Structure formats: C-alpha cells, structure tokens
Structure 1
Amino acid sequence: MSVLFVTDPLQGLHPDIDASIGLMAATQAIGSDVWGCGPEDLSVATGRVRARATRIRLADRHRGNDHRWVVERDWWQEVDRRDLDVAADTDLVMLRIDPPVDARYLHTTYLLDLVETHGGCVANHPAGIRALHEKLLALQFPDLCPETVVTADPREVLDLLSRVGRAVVKPVDGFAGLDAWLLGADSCARSLAESATLGGRRHVIAQAYLEDVRRGNKRLFVLDGDVVGAVLRRPAADDFRIGPPMAQAEVDDDDRRIVAALAPLLGAHGISLAGLDVIAGRLIEVNVTCPGGMHKTDALLGTDLSGAVMRRLLLTESVPS
C-alpha cells in the first residue's frame, strides 16, 4: 500500500514533534510506502491529478523524556522519485498542510477533489475542510461553547468584555496562537479591541476567558467519531496561550456529549481526523485542517495515536471503546 503525504516542505518539518512525521512513521511501521510532495508538486492533465513525489524512508526514533521524540538529524532519506497518477498509484492521500487556509491551501483542496472524483481517498476530505471553518465550526453549537462573538466592530468586543470581565480575542483566520490576545475590562481594552479588529476592518473571535484553563485545556483526538485519546495542556506561567501536552486527560461525560454532538457533522463532511479543544466541558475549537498533537502525545505518554489513525484509515481497524 502507498500513502501520499501532501505537506509543507519536508526540510521545514520538525521530526521530534510534528504530527505529520508521526503519521508517516506509523505508515512505514505497518509496511506501507511513504510518499511526500508539496502543493506545488501537484498538477492536472486530462482530468487526472499527478504528483511529482518522493518516496522516503524514515530513520529510527525513540521516545525522549518529555513530549519530543529523539530522532536523527537526517530523519529521512530518499528511496525513489516518480511522477504519480495520484488516484491510481496511491491508496490514501493525507492532506497535511499547516493553516492558514489561504489561496495556496484552497487551490490544493480543489486539485485533490479530482483525486476523489477518480476513486482515490483523501483524508480529511478537501470539500469538508472548505465547508467547516476551524474557528467558526464550534459556534454551530452555541450551547457547548463559552460566550462568544464574531465581529469586526471593536464596540461589540467591549460589550462582551463588560459582561464577562476578560476575553480571548483572535483573528478568524489565525492559527497556532498567533495574534491572539487576552483583553481585560481596563483602560487598554478599547485600544486593543481597535487594534485587533484593524479599526473595524478585520473579523475577530472574542470569547469569554475561562479561568479553568489553568487546570488544563483538553485536546480530544477524534477519529471517525470515536475518541481515541486525550491529553491535557496548560498555559505557561507567563503566557495565557496553551503549551505542549503535559499529562493524560480523562475523558468525561461532558467530553462525550461534545463529541456526540459534533460526530454526525464531521462524518457528513468526510472529516476522519479532528482535534477538539475543550476547557471545563466547553468547546473552544475544532481542528480539521491539519490536526496535530498525536506525535507529541505518543512521545509523552507512550500511546500509539499515530498508529491508531493510520491503521484505521488504511486497514479499517476498529478503535477499542
């Protein structure tokens, strides 16, 4: 079997923590060929998607003493290079480009639509990624979320602050915690709200800050509607944003209720793998573009989340309840 990983440049990936590398290693471990290419390596001729792809073999790895793997500096070597007919020559395409979902990302999804047209399999489905916005998807379930507004009007941000005291404000198209701010109801709030919204020209998400985040933000790893693992993450002492995984998280009734509510929507849009961020039983975000954290969690806890994902996608292995 062969899996094509469409990623950002291999040279720029971090083999000690990057989730895509963990999925590649798991693919290799079950005996499937690992191929890689970037969006710029995809093309279409006579209606069929082709990829200038490189088959790679990953170096050995072992767990470190935290959330990182110990991997050789030259973590992969080229085995073959070939022009692939993606639908005919691969069993699965893993769309693993990091957000934001910009023009480059969108154009890649449109090309990969044609892979599915010719009987190929892409995870997650390109059309599903376009349909389900990571930052806004959770708002389809307002009863599961903290109080939230999406607005370009700084006055509406200030109105929220007046009700909740503190709020996290981030751009709708943001990612990885970049340009995310914690606003309080103080003399700086108006200026910060105006800056965050670019004076009313940029939509932001403003969400009530949950003090319980100090006890942990859960990342729930959801595969085909099943929770296959969960990890606890906390902010650093000098930063309100979430840090790396720290401990195993217990999946409770609130988590199961959230997953049960989202699973039908995710399944209907072909989202096989998702990462749900939950604080104190409240849904914060649904990661569908390039869900991460599995590789770090496997290193930290000795789990096999990356393997579970690839075995399910390639071998239709059931996930234990």
Structure 2
Amino acid sequence: MTEKFIIGSEEWCSLPELGLPAVKIRVDSGAKTSALHAFNIHCYDEGGKAYAKFDVHPIQNNRKIIHRCIAPVVDRRVVRSSNGEVEKRVVVVTPIKLGDQVWDIEITLTNRDSMGYRMLLGREAMQNKVLVDPDAVFIVSDISGKEARNLYKLHVSKKASLNIVLLASDPDLYSNRRIMEAGELRGHNMKFINVRHCYMNISANEPTVCYRGGEILKSIDAVIPRLRPSTTFYGCAVTRQFQASGAFSLNEAVAITRSRDKLRSLQMLADKGINMPITGFANSPEDTKHLIKTVGGAPLIVKLLEGTQGVGVVLAETNKAAESVINAFKSLKVNILVQEYIKEAKGKDIRCFVIDGKVVGAMQRVAADDEFRANLHLGGVAAPVKLTPEEKKMAISAAKILGLKVAGVDIIRSDTGPKVLEVNSSPGLEGIESVSGEDIAGSMIESIERHVLGKE
C-alpha cells in the first residue's frame, strides 16, 4: 500500500485534465462522494463512450472566470446533500493533483453556487491515499486568491462588442447582476439604466433617450427591459423610444404590455387554443354569483389583473367567501379575474424559461405549508422537474403568441392535462439557475448576439 500523506481541512488542488489549475476544496470525510461546481451540463456519446461537457466558475464569488470542461461519464448517481436534498447527478472520472500526488477520482457534478467551496473532497477519493488533520489548512499548497485568478486566462470573446442597456430599477437584484456579469463576460459594454431616471426627446428626425444629468444614451445596440409592474407604462414608453432609435429590444414593448395585462394575454392564448384554467371576468357586482358559477364554483382563485409575484391573489374556499372577496375588490374599483382552482396540483406549478422559441430551463415550485400559491417570493421551494413534450410545446407556443423572445411561462398540471396560468415578461433568474444549473443569463446575451450580430 502506498504511504499516506497528510492534508488539511482546506486545500488548493488542480484538476489537470479538466484544465483547472487551482480549485479550493473543502476536505470532508463525512461526505461519501466528491462534488464539483458545474453548470450547463450536457452529456453525449462519442465513439461508444459517454462524456459530459460542462462549465465551471473555478474561483468562488467570481463569475467572470469561466472554463469549459469535458470528462468521461462513469455513472449517474442519486446523492443526498448536506441540507437533505436528493439529486440525481452525473459522475465523471478525472485525475486530481494535491502537491506532488496525482490519482484518479470520481466527482459528481452539481451547482454549488450557494456553497462555500467550489469543490468538496469526499472520503471515497481519499481512501488509501491521505490522512486529514482537521486543525490544519493548506498543508499541501497555499496560494492567494489573486495567484489563483492569475492562473486562469479570461477568455474574452473576439466577436464585436455590443453596447447593451439593462433597463430596470434595482442594480443589486440577483437577476440584474447576473445579466450584467454575463454580458461583460462575453466582452460587451453593459450599462445599467434606472428606468425612472430616463426622459425622452420624441421627434421624427432624431428620437433619443436621455439619462438623469443630461447624458444622451446613443449608439445603443440592444436593450434588455426588466420592468416592475409599477413601471410598466413608463418603462414600455422608454423601451419603444430605444427601439425607435434603432436598438434591438430583447422583449419588445408591445409584447411586455400584452403579458402584463392578464386578461388580454389569456384572451390571446385562448384564441390560439392554449389550455388554461376556466377564467371569468365581469364588471358589475350584480353579476358576481353568475361569475362564480361560470368557473365551477368555490373553491376558486381571485386575482388582480396586474398583480405579480403572488401579490393580489386570494383563494376563496366557499361561494359566500368568494362573493365577499370579489365585491370587496370591485368596491375598490380594481379589475380582477376569477379562476377555477386546480385542487389536484396540490400547491405546485412549473416555471418554464423560454428564450427564442426554446425551453432553456425549468423548475417546479412547491408552495409553503400555509400557502396555496407556488411562488418563491411567498416562501415556496424550487425543485428540478422533467417536462413532458406537451408542456415544452405549450410553453414555447405561449411565449410566441404574446411575441416574447424571453418569457417565464407558468404551467399547472391538472387531471385534464397541463394548463398555462400566466406568462411573465421579466422572469427571475435566481431560482431557475440554481435548480437547473443552466446559465440562463448567458443564454439571454447569446440571444442578443444572434439577433444583432446575425450569428447562428
């Protein structure tokens, strides 16, 4: 037996065949399997052998360094993580180098963005090789974060740089930060613009958008509108002005307006034969009882026409409660929809992320114990989900009908098949990226490149 060598509870290692010269690892003898942070994982066969192609952010809290890896697949294994979640992972085999020692190990691929280390070294990889001193760190190799970053080459795209505006309200929002990072990673000039700080010069000769302080936003190649419901009207006006000046809009203003009007969007979907929960709409309180009867009676859902993130959605469990809620909303002179309650869904729905007519990610949202809505903003939990061909087709069709290049299509599974709940023109990225492991923000930038640069 080879003499064992001592390592600390934290070490720097390299994975030479994956092209990763420095990865900080957490040594955990309590974990059976080793794990590496990976996303955009795609498996394929070549020459009768299975391989996985995947991307890695090798340095913690640094998304600008990205490396594409390829490794042979040896298994697909169900793994229970430290927080109790069960996940089926791809297992690859590759050499690890710790100091002067090199040997092959099996590594499971998973998204470790929320973890403190990009890689975990489990006991299977350490058997007959190492002893762990839990009180020591970096016994084998001790380098600084700066030295580790210098070992990687930033692969900046050689294609033409684009001037891209992200039109939103909060630069610190996860989704907005990810889009900015993804664009910068691909060598584009990204600029965050607060939609409330814009003003416009509307003219036939030179339509322009100006920014607070007098800056003229010119030579803009593309705009990514991510508008809060409260800024829909003004935000769409600014988006149209960018379009009038010649900028490409990832979602056009007219499509955003359609999606924000739940009634209009459902009417458009129904007109094209998209299956959805039975929905009623009325203006007069005198029609309330007939409206309730139209959707099959209680329990039923009452929702604001322009609500978002689960706000303004009420479950009425009896006809009497439904009458009270509907009439209370009408007394406030707000528009509402009344919709059948899909009991068999048990508080679950599916968010499909569609970009350019393709589902690039999906997750199932499970409602919190005291909620009936599967919304992450209300304490819901996201989990991986496998879509049926019918669900994929439905999500793609719904986005296309509303004219959205980027859309979050919410689907609920019922005894009579999948049904579209609504279509979101500014879907969040945090849950979907974490669960699916896909680089959704990068896919959005790639969409702009395809449309503006004309690349397939």
Range class of TM-score, shorter chain:
0.7 to 0.9
1:266 and 1:272 in contact (8 A); partners too:
no
Match of residue 52 from structure 1: 211
> Which of 205, 208, 215 is the aligned partner of 2:337?
205
Match of residue 285 from structure 1: 422
Deviation string, structure 1 residues 49-81 (Cα, Å, up to 9, x no partner): 23438xxxxxxxxxxxxxxxxxxxxxxxxxxx9
Note the 1:122-137 alignment, pairs <5 A: 122-136=249-263, 137=265
* TM superposition shift of 1:306: 1.6
> Which of 268, 282, 285 is the aligned partner of 1:140?
268
| 2:324 is aligned with 1:191 | yes
1:93 and 1:122 in contact (8 A); partners too:
yes
Deviation string, structure 1 residues 64-116 (Cα, Å, up to 9, x no partner): xxxxxxxxxxxxxxxxx992433x1x22111112114xxx4323322332322
Note the 1:145-156 alignment, pairs <5 A: 145-154=276-285, 156=287
Match of residue 58 from structure 1: none
| TM-score normalised to structure 1 length | 0.76
Summarize the Cα distance change of 1:125–1:161 in structure 2 as closer, same or farther, 3 Å threshold. same
Q: How many residues of Structure 1 are paired with residues of Structure 2 in the alignment? A: 277
Deviation string, structure 1 residues 197-239 (Cα, Å, up to 9, x no partner): 227x332111101123326200011112211111100111101
Letter paired with 1:109: C
Letter paired with 1:91: D
Match of residue 182 from structure 1: 315
Deviation string, structure 1 residues 165-188 (Cα, Å, up to 9, x no partner): 311101112222212100122543
Match of residue 29 from structure 1: 185
Instruction: Tell me which protein shows more helix as a share of its residues.
Output: 1
2:229 and 2:260 in contact (8 A); partners too:
no
Match of residue 246 from structure 1: 382
| 2:245 is aligned with 1:111 | no
| TM-score normalised to structure 2 length | 0.55
Match of residue 313 from structure 1: 448
Match of residue 266 from structure 1: 402
Q: Which has the higher contact order (CA 8 A, sep 6+)?
A: 1
Q: Which runs of 5+ in 2 are unaligned?
A: 1-161
| 2:355 is aligned with 1:223 | yes
Deviation string, structure 1 residues 280-299 (Cα, Å, up to 9, x no partner): 100110112x222x222212
CA distance in 2, matches of 1:223, 1:37: 23
2:302 and 2:336 in contact (8 A); partners too:
yes
Q: Percent identity?
A: 20
> Which of 228, 242, 248 is the aligned partner of 1:121?
248
